[in-house]
Amino acid sequence: MEGKAEIGIIGGSGFYSLLESPRQLEGASRYGKPSAPLALGKLEGRSVAFLPRHGYKHTIPPHKVPYRANIEAMANAGVKRLIATSAVGSLSADYKPGELVFFDQFVSMTHGRADTFFDEDTVVHVSSADPYCPELRRVAIKVAKRMGIGFHDKGTVVVINGPRFSSRAESRFFSAQGFELINMTQYPEVVLARERQICYLGIGMVTDYDAGLVGKKGIKPVSIAEVNRIFGENIGKVKELIGKLLPEIPEKRNCTCGSALEGAVATQK
């Protein structure tokens, strides 16, 4: 499967229509089957592999997404850059529904997820100090500015296990820590990509205010109906952003993501 695509996209099934004459690639590995067969095709002259994180009919809940199989399938297809879109809730009045965010940090509050490729005979401590590719973020910020859309150039996303939404107490706690956003899928996806030395750009679409905002009356807790409404209204903007982003990505990587494992192996040879 090597060398089929240079850039990967993980997101909702609505992105499938972006690709020109897509063909399917099964992508099974020692970690099992990915969420769905990869769709391979061309977009803005670049070879792209697309994968719907929750399956093509959104049947896989966040805590059961086969994250390792998904990232392994992308790596086996030759992907070196990964663009991942996701819906996020806002924990701050500064991050409004309909706006986009290019994550720079995450906090994991998940449990029970297989979150490393190195859990057998090799111990690896990959650095997660800066988990999101700075080069891809710079390019995305430049394109977003040119488009004139509402966005934030950084944001810390706290990742919960799901599939339930937060209680009011949990939401207040996360806000008090200074986290701006909340999501169910960024971890371990971003770290697994790092273990495979793949550049990762996380694009969050703010869809709601989670369980409401402290001191802000009249803001109702999140509902899936509201998430779907805001997501549907703004998916075109995200598609346009990605279409304009791809030609701007340099052929050669000018970041350290490709050497993330250097000095990270603790096992003695």
* Strands, E assignment, the chain: 7-11, 20-25, 38-43, 46-52, 81-90, 100-102, 105-109, 151-152, 156-160, 181-183, 199-208
Cβ neighbours of 6 (radius 10 Å)? 17
Told to judge if 119 belongs to the known catalytic residues of this protein, a careful annotator would answer: no
Angle at 157 between CA 154 and CA 163, to 5 degrees: 150
State the alpha helices, DSSP H only, in 24-113: 67-76
CB 221 within 8 A of CB 210: yes
Angle at 190 between CA 185 and CA 146, to 5 degrees: 95
Angle at 201 between CA 197 and CA 263, to 5 degrees: 25
Told to judge if 208 belongs to the known catalytic residues of this protein, a careful annotator would answer: yes
| Residues that are catalytic | 208, 210
